[in-house]
Structure 1
Amino acid sequence: MSEELPRRVPARAGLDWVTGAFRLFIKSPLMLGAATALFLGALLILQLIPYAGAGLTEILTPLMLAGFMRAFRAIDEGGEPELPHFAAGFRNHALPLAMVGAIYLGVLLAILWLMKQLGVDYQAMMQAIQQGAAPEQVAQGLEGKGVLLLVGLGLVIPAVAATWYAPALVLFGNATSLQAMGLSLKACLRNWVALLANGLVLIPVFLLALVPVVGMLIAVPVMLGTAYLGYQSMFASRS
């Protein structure tokens, strides 16, 4: 009888992914740190493109993340990550990976539209922050809308969950965009306790990394390493 995928993993797996990701990072810190700097730089440059920047960022992000998944697999198998590994998403499965980003973008825009109809304009709020509005002014505009903010968060979380393992599922499992997103969402729902434990550990790691900005060159690849190890735990074949 074939094993049902995604597998259910214990809660402590979420902690194991963090320690495992640190071990993978330590094996090739310079290459992973440099790749992360390029990744974050590319995201910033894309955001500067008028009108299309935000959309291009969402569409291209899965292709870039697939490269990290390939690099982590190389390290996991005892090798060294090489530059071509980080371009794996662009060389293989580029269309389904881009479709993952496009679908996520479409869902995100639909959520933003819905929330605007309900009285919460996230885009206007972000513009006000970018234009230097005081935190008190932003908070005033959200007064009495706490429940709506929670509704928005509750809609965004499943969308993020549907993309979390999608790059690895497309790259390693040859899944279509919709298959990958469906399986990723299923994996997150089935293993939400492990992912919660994982997130609770990663949050302070990111907060500490923000103090020296260079810390992000460690925190980001570690976070992506947990996604790779989560994929391995839930989906990878076992010999």
Structure 2
Amino acid sequence: MKLQIVPASTGVLWVKLGIQTFWRQPMALAALFFLAMACMSLVTIVPFVGPALALALLPCSSLAMMVAAAEATQGRFPNPSLLLVAFRSGTERRRAMLTLGVLYAVSFLAIMGLSALIDGGTFANVYLGGEPMGREIAEDPDFQTAMWFSMALYIPLSLMFWHAPGLIHWHGIPPVKALFFSGIACLRNWRAYLVFGICWMTVFLGTGLVLALVTGVLASLIGAIAGGIMVGAAMVLAAMFFTSVVFTFRDSFSAPDGSAEDPLDLPE
């Protein structure tokens, strides 16, 4: 496995490829994403440890979408069984993915715990769905400080876990090394990832604005259905986003010189 440095313009290409790949198999990729989210939501109802288990499943869900996108790009149908791909890759890699999930859950909950020192746990309760956010909470200076503090810590955490599932699955890298290499890859290619993030932000905001205008007109005619359209569109955009992640991985890493063909053989 070798790190590759790409130009900033590659970030635009990643977004384009993600959208194009999604529309090759829109029903399959959207269904897989919805299924992954539903499974994580169901896990949260487990007493005491539910939220932690859901967090631990996030790297596995991310890997499932990466593998599904790779399948779609290569002309194959991404079936729902790919949701379990992290657990069907051999004992060593399965153990590594489980370890990665535990590390993610512990790290995320640690961030929430640190934020609780600032606002008494209000932000953590709101973020984890335990408390609705009203205007009074949103305007609380301690809540806002905890929110920005958590975001500042979560950004480097997300960079470390960005490529880690793919490095474990396709290159057999141990979890801790995968986290290190993922963080280095994101930092070395920060320009491309910045463009990637800005492009996706533009897509989300632009689509949201158009849908807000459309559903605003439809609301008087079809009522609650307009809200469902907004939620559905947001889920589809999220599925597109996760579809594009595999291309960031493909262009950030390559197989070593003299090795067999790269297991992630995606077309350019």
What TM-score bracket applies, with the shorter chain setting the length?
A: 0.7 to 0.9
Cα distance change of structure 1 residues 83 and 140 upon mapping to structure 2, 3 Å threshold: closer
- Residues 1-239 of structure 1: matches in 2 within 5 Å? 5-92=2-89, 93-119=93-119, 121=121, 122-126=123-127, 130-132=130-132, 134-135=134-135, 137-141=136-140, 143=141, 149-207=147-205, 208=207, 212-237=230-255
**Could you say which structure has the larger radius of gyration?**
2
| CA-CA distance at 1:219 after TM superposition | 1.3
- The answer for unaligned runs of 5 or more in structure 1 is none
Instruction: State the superposition RMSD in angstroms.
Output: 2.6
TM-score, length basis structure 2: 0.77
Question: Which range moved further: 64-73 or 183-192?
Answer: 64-73
Aligned-partner Cα distance in 1 for 2:201–2:162: 16
On the 8 A contact 2:159/2:183 being kept in 1, the answer is: yes
On the 8 A contact 1:120/1:148 being kept in 2, the answer is: no
TM-score, length basis structure 1: 0.85
Cα distance change of structure 1 residues 120 and 194 upon mapping to structure 2, 3 Å threshold: farther
Q: Which residue of 1 aligns with 2:225?
A: none
- The answer for unaligned runs of 5 or more in structure 2 is 212-228, 262-268
On the 8 A contact 1:125/1:138 being kept in 2, the answer is: no
Percent of aligned pairs sharing the same letter: 23
On the 8 A contact 2:126/2:132 being kept in 1, the answer is: no
| CA-CA distance at 1:217 after TM superposition | 4.2
- Total equivalences in the alignment: 233
On the 8 A contact 2:161/2:182 being kept in 1, the answer is: yes
Cα distance change of structure 1 residues 98 and 167 upon mapping to structure 2, 3 Å threshold: same
Aligned-partner Cα distance in 2 for 1:161–1:61: 14
| CA-CA distance at 1:84 after TM superposition | 3.5
Which digits, 9 at most, give the CA deviation of each residue in 1:197-220, with x for residues without a partner? Answer: 111121243343686222234212
After the TM superposition, which parts of structure 1 deviate over 6 Å for at least 4 consecutive aligned residues?
none
Cα distance change of structure 1 residues 175 and 145 upon mapping to structure 2, 3 Å threshold: same
Aligned-partner Cα distance in 2 for 1:30–1:130: 32
On the 8 A contact 2:97/2:175 being kept in 1, the answer is: yes
Query: SS of the counterpart of 1:10?
Result: coil
Which digits, 9 at most, give the CA deviation of each residue in 1:145-194, with x for residues without a partner? Answer: 75664333221111111111111111111111111111111111111221
On the 8 A contact 1:17/1:225 being kept in 2, the answer is: no
